[in-house]
Each structure stands twice: as C-alpha cells, then as structure tokens.
Amino acid sequence: MDIEQQDQPHSPTDPPKINRLSDSVVNRIAAGEVIQRPVSAVKELIENSLDAASTSINLLLKDGGLKLIQISDDGHGIRYEDLPILCERHTTSKLSSFEDLMSIKSMGFRGEALASMTYVSHVTVTTITKGQLHGYRVSYRDGAMEHEPRACAAVKGTQIMVENLFYNMTARKKTLQSSADDYSKIVDLVSRFAIHHNNVSFSCRKHGATRADVHTVVTSSTLDAIRSVYGVSVARNLIKLEASDNDPSSVFEMHGFMSNANYAAKKITMVLFINDRLVEWSALKRAIEIVYATTLPKASKPFVYISIVLPPENIDVNVHPTKREVSVLNQEAIIEQIQSVVESRLRSSDEARTFQEQACPGNILYSMLNVFYSGRQSSLSQNNTSKEVNLSPTTPGSRSQKVPVHKLVRTDSLDPAGRLHAYVQTKLDGHIEKTASLNAVRSSVRQRRNPKGSLDLTSVQELLDEINNKCDPGMMDIVRHCTYIGMADDVFAVIQHNTHLYLVNVVNLSKELIYQQVLSRFARLNAISISDPLPLKDLIILALKDEDLDSECNDEDHLQEKIAEMNSELLKQKSEIMDEFFSIYIDKHGNVATLPVILDQYTPDMDRIPEFVLCLGNDVDWEDEKNCIQGVSVALGNFYAMHPPMLPNPSGEGLLFYKKRKVLDNCTKENACDSTGSNIDNDKVDHELLSEATTEWAQREWTIQHVLFPSMRLFFKPPVSMATNGTFVKVNTHSSFIQSNLSFLRISFLKFHYDSMRYIILIWGEIVY
C-alpha cells in the first residue's frame, strides 16, 4: 500500500518540495549581489587598500574591467598565515563580534568582497609584509586556494588581479557589453575617492595606454585635489561649505565645497562621504537640487562635495549588499540643516554673478586662409570683453549654440579653435589620440605647484626673490594669455598674443620653468620609482665616453674609471640631502632609485640621465648651501627640459635617416650615396624605427601643448633675459624681415610653398582684430 502511494504522481495543487541549495549556488547568488558590475569590484578593492593604510593606489583595467582589474597598493600587506582563508566568505580582520559593527570605522566588515570575486572570476594575490625578504603569490577559485602560496619577488603592499570577470555568468556578461561605459564609471569612482582621500595618490589607466586617465598625488588641500581631478574650471567656481550641530547627542559635523552661481553643467555631480565612506544619499541629493533649482536656470546643475562626520553608533552601514547606502539617525534634521547652509551660501554668491559677451568675428583672414586650407576656413575675432549684463552665462559646462568647426574663433588661451592642428595636422596613432582625451588633458595641468611654507631656508628664499625681481611684467602678460598654435620646427613653437605672433624656444622655456618649479616646491617634490635602479658608476662612465668619443686610449679609460668612482662616492655621501630636498634617492649600493615629479604627466628623456648624473658630481658646489641648491636645480632643469628626441624628425629631410642602406664598394651615378659611402635604397624604409620616431616626436609635441604651455600659464615668471636671448621672438611682419628670416620662420609640418607662407604671415600681421 505504501509503495503504491509513493509511485503516484503529485497533484498540481500540492505545495512544492523545499530543497536545500548547495553551497556553490548560494555563493554564486551572493557574489552576484555584491559584485554587480566591474565598478563594484573596483570599489571593494579600493576600500580594502585604504583599510590597509595605503598611501599609493594604482589601477590597471582591460575591457572596462571585464578582462582584467589589477590594483596595487603600498599598504601593510597580508600575513602568510592568513592566505589560506583570505578568500573564504565572512573572513575579515575588521571585526570579531556583532557589537563591533556598532562602532565600525573601517570600510570593509563583511568579508564577502574577495570571496565573491573568486566565485565569478579568477583572482591572484601577490603580497609582502614588513620585514619579509620576499612576498607570496597565490591564486583563488570558488573561495579556496588553487595551490600553496609560492615565494616571489614583490614590492611593499599587495597586488590583486581579477581576471575574466563573470566568465561563468553568461547572462550578466551579455548585459555589460559596453567596456567604455564601465571604464568611465570606474574613472568617476576613482576620481571621487581621490578628492576625499587627498593623503593618498591614485592612478587609473587602461591596459596598453601610455597615460593615466586619473593621476593624483598627495596634497594637503581638498581644493587642490578637486582642481587636479575635475579641472580648474570647476575649482575656481567653488565655495567652502561648513556646518555643525550644537546638539551634544548628535555631534554632527560637515565640511565640503559647492559650486557658486557662475558654475553651470548639464548634470549634477554630488560626491558624498559619511565617516570617510563613499555613499549615496538620494534624500540629501534631492534637497540640494531643490535649492539650486530656485536659483539657477533649469539647464544648470551644481557640483557638490560633502564630507559628514557622525558618531559611529549613529549610522548603520549594513543596509546594502554593496555598502552603497547607509542609514543615518535623525537624517531629516541633518538634511534640513545642510539644505539651509547650502541655500544661504548660494544666495550670497548669487549677488556677484558674472557673464561674458563675445563680439562678432571678422571675416578678413577667413577669406584668405580658405585658399591654403583646402576648403577649411578660419577667422579671427576681437578680444573678449566681460561685462555685468543680463545674458546667458557662458561659463564652462553651460549649454551653448552649436557652431561649425570651420567658423570657430580663437579668442583666448583656453580655446583650441583656430590652432593649426585643427586644420592641417594629420591624425596620430590611435594610442596618441586616446592620450589626448579630455581627462588626460585636464590631468596634465590640474595640480597646483606652489605650496606655501615649503621650508624655511634663507638661501631658497633668496633664489626665489631673484626669480621675482628678474621677472618681466610685459612678458608675464604674454605668458599668461597666449594661445598655442603649433610647432614651427624642432625647437621653436608659434604662439599668439592679441594680434601678434611669437616664436618660443621650448627647450630654453622648459629649462627655466623646471628650475623655478624645483625651487618653489623645494623639499616637497613627489618621487617616481625607477623599476630597475641605475648604477651611478656606469652612468658616469657612459657620460664621460659620450663627451670623448674619439678617445681609444687605455689610460683614458682608467682615468674615466677613477672619475666615476670619485663622483659615485660623492653622490652616495650626499644621497640624504638629495632625497630630502629633491626626491632623488640613491641607495646604499650607489643606484639611482627615484627621480622627482616636477610636471605632472611628464617624465624626462632617460637617455639623458648619464649627463645629469655627471653634472651632479662635477658642476654642483656641495660646500655652499645656496650654490648647492641652485646647482642641483639647474641640473634638473637641463635634464627635464623638453629637448628634441635623439632620433631625427621623420618629417621633411629627416626621413632619409630611416631609409635602409647597403654598403657598396663603389657608388655609381645611378644610385645616390651618403657621406659614409652607403647606398640609400629609396624603396625600403626601416618601418619599426620610423614608427618609434614618429611616436616619440608626436608624444613630445603633445606634451609641449598640453603640459608645458598650460603649466607655463599658471606658474612661469619669465626673466627679462628671455626677451633678448632668443627664447621669445616677436614675428616682424615687414617683408624685408620675412625675406631674410623665412627659413627660420617656416612651419615645417604645414609644408606650405615659400610664397604662400610669406603671404599668410604678412597678411596675418596686418589684420586688426
């Protein structure tokens, strides 16, 4: 009877049987809640790095994080004993009991982030703790180690690689097809962390890219961090925001920055941290939007950064799987107070709103350049005028009427319209174009370079006073308000100021700018590490051989050896001074390990480091304080100056260098021979060398336009001597001057005909805007 009942099918009305899910299914479901998309994984990894007391966090991503997320930090690392349970669920060093959650100060506490990643990706961890001789690397899958930790070389801290994210979740992966969208979300996330944690340097770049899309250094000012990440146009329109609660039971404190009435953007940017935790608070966001909506036009949205500090027991952090939201005690009162402060500050700023009015452009040059730009047209306008008038604001971010590219007018130093590149320069390689994205351009000029109170040394102040006393006020105006046009040749750039053209020697300019920056940021320079430290002795010998290429005497080699040893010992003795004041670190073995960061997004040509090291040993007076500081600063200026690359410029006659040669015994008339007796084969080109040279020259020109000249406008104080030593040359538009100096003035990459170039310069100089 019982057997017959078991064989009977269940009725459709019977309740379904409850089954216990397997651990693998439970873990996969949990992982899908915690790691919703690549940006979720990045947020968890950054928070772990911050909890590890890191001062440097570097991110590398491929395909928006789906193929690869690599994060490296310099935190305290992970103990070898903890590696077996590192990626198990609910294993954490942040708390041990539920009561600890009531006063939690760390960002992580659940122990689910790394575990979740192992269930939906392949995770590899490399770590080293203080005092260890080597680090350990181990891979994880499904919450467990795939093998025993293996000893390996490692730098301080931890590196975590998350590869093939959502490889086993087909539906989830199909919904994340746009890698560009995911990457932009990650860049935005890193930017938010960077402005709040300004005591930590952040870097975020795509795999294969030469430049980081986010690159910040440690700074003491939140405003400087905002300027570095979001740009000058945002930072200059911010108002400081502060509020506190007098109620002892609440102990509410708030500080931050908010945009004034002159700022306008298409969407709101609200960066909110509560107890150093990046969160979203929709109620507060709506309250602030209401305040701005009553003051600004409908199309204008604000920028707001707020940091709120509350007693840990007044917030509940365990309300969202990704920790994106928190629950706050007495949130209505806090929102009302913040809203009141924002409204008060905004109304006070509204009393001084400014708007700009631009005059109609002239059409004189427009008709002329049409002949030479093959259908592309350009026009020059009158100078900008600013008035207090009731017009629509034209501040950055506002909605403006679309203007065709060929009718854009170059009116100020921030406007790219009218630059020669817009009309005649051919497109560069793909990775150079990506480098010149808006984020990369911004990050090259954002960071302020003049911290006050660097170091109370009389000699430094005297050198800075000399710079100020020698500054030419007339040239200062040119420097501050010039517009970059293009490179005239390998050394000279063309700039415009008002109605005049100037040729600028970028090598001399960059030398002086670097020299001034080293002194103004004395003892506050950040450092970049050299992956393979360079031995001093070998560098000095190499520099000495470059100076005396014709010498083949053994005695000369012995002398060079002795000079190299003496200079190496001298620089090793002075390593502490160079490290503390100039961020040039020489280790105990006599290797150059770090160099200073002087201009953001720019590293010097490492082929010139032998000459630099030799200069430190031979040309610096180490006995006199002022002469020593000045000597090292001058050496850095020479080293970091934007010299032309070693390889010849591929444009023009330089292309002959890349033609493949074959040595012949006798050069015939049919084949042209160079001075070495080699036959130039015009049909064959060394494409690999040519590509390398093209990239180097294009990168140099990009750096000149987007790093050197923006930095010059912000910080440079031109000495009077630059008006007479050929650094700044005003282009005389008289025909006699043009006739005698045309070879010097030619703009090589335009490849204009002789008469055409002369005609354009003559007419340009005679136009009155």
- pLDDT tens, 356-405? 444 444 343 444 444 434 333 333 333 433 333 333 334 444 444 455 54
CATH number at residue 321: 3.30.230.10
What pLDDT is attached to residue 696?
87
Shared domain for 49 and 138, answered yes or no, is yes
Which residue would you say has higher pLDDT here, 71 or 431?
71
The span from the CA of 722 to the CA of 676, in Å, is 40
Q: Angle at which helices 23-34 and 113-120 pack, to 10 degrees?
A: 110
Residues 210-242 as b or e (16 or more Cβ within 10 Å = b): ebbbbbbbebeebbbbbbbbbbbebbebbbebe
Shared domain for 626 and 647, answered yes or no, is no
Shared domain for 241 and 92, answered yes or no, is no
Q: Which of 126, 112, 125 is nearest to 36 (CA)?
A: 112
Confidence bin at 747 (pLDDT 50/70/90): very low
On the question of pLDDT at 610 being above 70, the answer is yes
Shared domain for 562 and 705, answered yes or no, is no
Q: Which of 606, 588, 598 is nearest to 632 (CA)?
A: 598
Shared domain for 615 and 699, answered yes or no, is no
Q: Mean pLDDT lowest for which of 602-606, 684-688, 755-759? A: 755-759
Shared domain for 121 and 59, answered yes or no, is yes
Counted domains in the chain: 4
Handedness of CA 564, 566, 569, 571 (dihedral sign): negative
- Residue 189: both structure tokens together: 């996330």
CATH number at residue 94: 3.30.565.10
Residue 401 lies in a domain: no
- DSSP state for residue 110 in the 8-state scheme: S
Angstrom CA distances, 468 to 535, 715, 721, stand at 38, 12, 13
On the question of pLDDT at 565 being above 70, the answer is yes
Any bridge partners for residue 72, and if so which?
58, 159
CA 147 to chain CA mean position, Å: 38
The span from the CA of 613 to the CA of 277, in Å, is 45
Q: Angle at which helices 554-573 and 609-618 pack, to 10 degrees?
A: 70
Shared domain for 151 and 243, answered yes or no, is no
Question: Could you tell me whether strands 135-141 and 122-128 are parallel, antiparallel, or unpaired per DSSP bridges?
Answer: antiparallel
Confidence bin at 746 (pLDDT 50/70/90): very low
The span from the CA of 755 to the CA of 735, in Å, is 11
On the question of pLDDT at 215 being above 50, the answer is yes
CA 296 to chain CA mean position, Å: 32
Which residue would you say has higher pLDDT here, 391 or 141?
141
The span from the CA of 524 to the CA of 547, in Å, is 33
Shared domain for 539 and 518, answered yes or no, is no
Last residue of a domain, one of 352, 370, 403: 352
Which residue would you say has higher pLDDT here, 132 or 103?
132
Residue 668 lies in a domain: no
What is the total residue count of the chain? 769
Report for 38-42, 288-292, 311-315, 527-531: range of highest mean pLDDT: 38-42
The span from the CA of 120 to the CA of 162, in Å, is 10
Cβ neighbors of 740 (< 8 A, separation 6 or more) are none
Angstrom CA distances, 746 to 502, 742, 759, stand at 13, 6, 12
On the question of pLDDT at 302 being above 50, the answer is yes
Q: Angle at which helices 735-745 and 754-766 pack, to 10 degrees?
A: 120
| Residue 323, phi-psi category: left (phi > 0), alpha (psi -120 to 50), beta (remainder) | left
- Taking only the tens place, the pLDDT of each residue in 650-660 is 876 777 777 76
Cβ neighbors of 479 (< 8 A, separation 6 or more) are 712, 713, 716, 718
Confidence bin at 719 (pLDDT 50/70/90): very high
What pLDDT is attached to residue 12?
63
Residue 65 lies in a domain: yes
Q: Which of 284, 260, 262 is nearest to 272 (CA)?
A: 284
Residue 214 lies in a domain: no
Range of the domain at 289: 219-352
Confidence bin at 311 (pLDDT 50/70/90): confident
Angstrom CA distances, 199 to 217, 275, 518, 581, 767, stand at 8, 16, 21, 20, 51
Residue 441 lies in a domain: no
- Predicted TM-score (pTM) of this structure: 0.47
Q: Mean pLDDT lowest for which of 170-184, 451-465, 702-716? A: 451-465
Give rounded-to-5 percent helix, strand, coil for the chain.
40, 20, 40
The span from the CA of 674 to the CA of 677, in Å, is 6
Which 3 state secondary structure label does DSSP give 97? coil
**Which residue has tokens 């703009």?**
747
- Taking only the tens place, the pLDDT of each residue in 448-507 is 433 434 455 788 989 999 999 999 888 888 988 898 888 888 899 999 988 888 899 999
Shared domain for 633 and 647, answered yes or no, is no
CA 287 to chain CA mean position, Å: 33
**Which residue has tokens 């009725």?**
11
Shared domain for 298 and 156, answered yes or no, is no
- Taking only the tens place, the pLDDT of each residue in 86-110 is 888 777 766 555 655 555 666 656 6
Render 358-374 in DSSP notation, one character per residue: -PPPP-HHHHHHTTTTT
Residue 671 lies in a domain: no
Shared domain for 560 and 482, answered yes or no, is no
CA 680 to chain CA mean position, Å: 43
Residue 432 lies in a domain: no
Q: Which of 209, 304, 308, 213 is nearest to 260 (CA)?
A: 304
Shared domain for 518 and 532, answered yes or no, is no
CB 186 within 8 A of CB 61: yes
On the question of pLDDT at 711 being above 70, the answer is yes
Residue 503 lies in a domain: yes
Cβ neighbors of 203 (< 8 A, separation 6 or more) are 56, 57, 58, 59, 212, 214, 215, 216
Q: Which of 223, 367, 492 is nearest to 760 (CA)?
A: 367
Confidence bin at 193 (pLDDT 50/70/90): very high
On the question of pLDDT at 509 being above 60, the answer is yes
